[in-house]
């Protein structure tokens, strides 16, 4: 296969798992010789903040001189962004070659595989072939039955912010969702937990950790002093480029995870290397400015918790600005609560439907914003929505949000993939 054929092959398979075990991913990995067993992992689960925390950790590990794999989900720039080594995407031709091997195993052991399982297997093979010393591994959905939970050589687990999302798969209470995510904790290991959680989330994580004889580490907010993107934690100064108070909390979560790695044998992770890694960490579509005149910002917020964080950044970074949002949302998300979080922070909304069967019709989303008291119009395409917002003389800033599929399309318009 070439790169395009590999992507087409993956798209044959569905997104979500039709059954409830890890049998299929274990079959694929066994066919590859279980490369995951010869790797070490920093495993990250959570509802929001996984990508930012993973970016902070991978950047610091790279700066410390470790050959670092990074597996993320989903992507913004291009598909092979999901598999990286030291910040470099897996090359197109080599991605195709690894997928050839995975396809061979899948066809020799036919089953109801899903795309994420095949991709996870390919990532493990690529990281092993290239001798990665550590892999920062982000779950797809949940944790207990996520394909990434086939790994058993986790050095440190991380649970980022836990809130409501994918409730049809993970459960309709925070306790149920937290339980699913906490199952990435390994017996006798350690887990670092994002510090701003509902008490029921902490209770579930602590109970799971106690049962597995694992140590729970929670950043000490009494030792945090914030000054926007400059902050002091445990008497050490840090700078991050990612914006928002929630990113500071993601950063201190990453610091604790990296310090735990340092105590577990990754001795080159000094305070200086951690600080440098945090400063250099970048992530597309996290309040990312892609145009100055007009001001256009992309943000991947796509659920109520994410929209709440976006609202906080808009309030602190763009006070008194007239903001137009360009928005699309998936039908399986909590759309009404997401709109409530954003409603008081934008002046108007232009809705659009992206090329995805799960996406709401632009007119339906327009009416939902209108019902929340936000003036809204529907556009026929992403290009048309961006032009309408950018040309509006009453708009000071355009914020594209609601779906990573949308911000991915928008980003390609402003920053074409070369």
Instruction: Give the confidence band of 80 by pLDDT, cuts at 50, 70, 90.
Output: very high
CATH class of 288-414: alpha beta
Dihedral pair phi/psi, residue 89, rounded to 5°: -65, 150
Q: How far apart are CA 29 and CA 125, in angstroms?
A: 8
The structure tokens 């274990």 sit at: 26
> pLDDT tens-digit profile of 251-265?
999 999 999 999 999
- CA atoms within 13 Å, Cβ hemisphere of 288: 22
Neighbours of 171 (CB within 10 A): 16
- The DSSP secondary structure of 76-93, one letter per residue, reads SS-GGGGEEETTEEPPHH
Confirm whether 3-280 and 288-414 share one CATH topology.
no
Residue 132 tokens, joined: 């990665």
327 and 365 Cβ atoms separated by less than 8 Å: yes
Residue 19: the pLDDT is 57
**Length of the chain as a residue count:** 418
CB 61 within 8 A of CB 177: no
Cα(215)–Cα(112) distance, rounded to whole angstroms?
A: 37
Give the pLDDT confidence of 138-150 residue by residue, as tens digits: 999 888 999 999 9
- Cβ burial, residue 137 (10 Å; 0-12/13-18/19+): buried
Question: Among 124-128, 144-148, 172-176, where is mean pLDDT lowest?
Answer: 172-176
Residue 170: pLDDT over 90: no
**CATH H-level, domain 3-280: superfamily:** Mur-like, catalytic domain (3.40.1190.10)
As a whole number, the mean pLDDT across the chain is 93
Nearest to 53 by CA among 78, 70, 77: 70
**Average pLDDT estimate for 288-303:** 92
Other beta carbons within 10 angstroms of residue 310's beta carbon come to 28
- pTM (2 d.p.): 0.92
What's the angle, vertex CA 244, arms to CA 258 and CA 302, rounded to 5?
Answer: 95
Intra-chain end-to-end CA distance of the chain, in Å: 22
Q: Measured between alpha carbons, how far is 169 from 159 in angstroms, rounded to an integer?
A: 18
Question: What 3-state DSSP class applies to 49?
Answer: coil
- Residue 294: is it exposed, middle or buried by C-beta count within 10 angstroms (0-12/13-18/19+)? middle
- Nearest-angstrom CA–CA distance, 253 and 250: 5
Domain coordinates in residue numbering, the chain:
3-280, 288-414
Query: Over 80: is that where the pLDDT of 164 sits?
Result: no
pLDDT tens digits, 180-238: 999 999 999 999 999 999 999 999 999 999 999 999 999 999 999 987 789 999 999 99
- Token pair 């934690």 in the structure block, residue: 233
Pairing of strands 83-85, 68-71: antiparallel
Instruction: Give residue 20's pLDDT.
Output: 66
**In this structure, are residues 147 and 120 in contact, taking their beta carbons and an 8 Å threshold?**
yes
- Spatial contact of 339 and 369, defined as CB atoms under 8 Å apart: yes
CA dihedral (166, 167, 173, 175) positive or negative: negative
């Amino acid at each position: 296969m070439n790169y395009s054929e590999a992507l087409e092959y993956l798209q044959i398979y569905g997104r979500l798992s039709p059954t409830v075990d890890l049998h299929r991913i274990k079959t694929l990995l066994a066919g590859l010789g279980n490369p995951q067993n010869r790797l070490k992992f920093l495993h990250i689960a959570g509802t929001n903040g996984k990508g930012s925390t993973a970016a902070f950790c991978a950047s610091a590990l790279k700066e410390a001189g470790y050959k670092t794999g990074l597996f993320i989900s989903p992507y913004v720039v291009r598909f092979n962004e999901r598999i990286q080594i030291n910040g470099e995407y897996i090359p197109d031709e080599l991605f195709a070659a690894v997928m050839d091997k995975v396809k061979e195993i899948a066809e020799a052991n036919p089953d109801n595989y899903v795309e994420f399982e095949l991709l996870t297997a390919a990532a493990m093979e690529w990281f092993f072939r290239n001798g990665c010393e550590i892999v920062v591994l982000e779950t797809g959905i949940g944790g207990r039955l996520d394909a990434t939970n086939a790994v058993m050589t986790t050095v440190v687990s991380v649970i980022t912010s836990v809130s409501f999302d994918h409730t049809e798969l993970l459960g309709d209470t925070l306790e149920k969702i937290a339980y699913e995510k906490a199952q990435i904790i390994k017996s006798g290991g350690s887990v670092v937990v994002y510090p701003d959680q509902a008490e029921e989330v902490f209770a579930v994580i602590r109970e799971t950790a106690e049962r597995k004889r694992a140590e729970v580490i929670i950043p000490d907010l009494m030792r945090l002093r914030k000054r926007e993107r400059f902050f002091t934690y445990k008497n050490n100064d840090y700078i991050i480029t990612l914006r928002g108070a929630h990113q500071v909390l993601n950063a201190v979560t990453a610091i604790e995870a990296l310090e735990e790695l340092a105590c577990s044998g990754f001795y080159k992770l000094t305070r200086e290397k951690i600080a440098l890694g945090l400063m250099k960490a970048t992530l597309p579509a996290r309040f990312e400015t892609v145009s100055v005149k007009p001001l256009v910002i992309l943000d991947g917020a796509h659920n109520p918790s994410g929209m709440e964080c976006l609202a906080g950044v808009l309030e602190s970074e763009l006070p008194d600005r007239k903001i137009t949002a360009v928005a699309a949302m998936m039908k399986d998300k909590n759309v009404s609560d997401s709109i409530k979080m954003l409603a008081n922070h934008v002046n108007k909304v232009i809705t659009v439907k992206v090329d995805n069967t799960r996406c709401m019709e632009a007119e339906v989303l327009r009416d939902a914003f209108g019902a929340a008291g936000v003036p809204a119009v529907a556009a026929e395409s992403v290009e048309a929505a961006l032009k309408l917002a950018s040309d509006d003389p009453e708009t000071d800033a355009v914020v594209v949000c609601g779906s990573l599929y949308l911000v991915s399309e928008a980003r390609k318009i402003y920053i074409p993939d070369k």
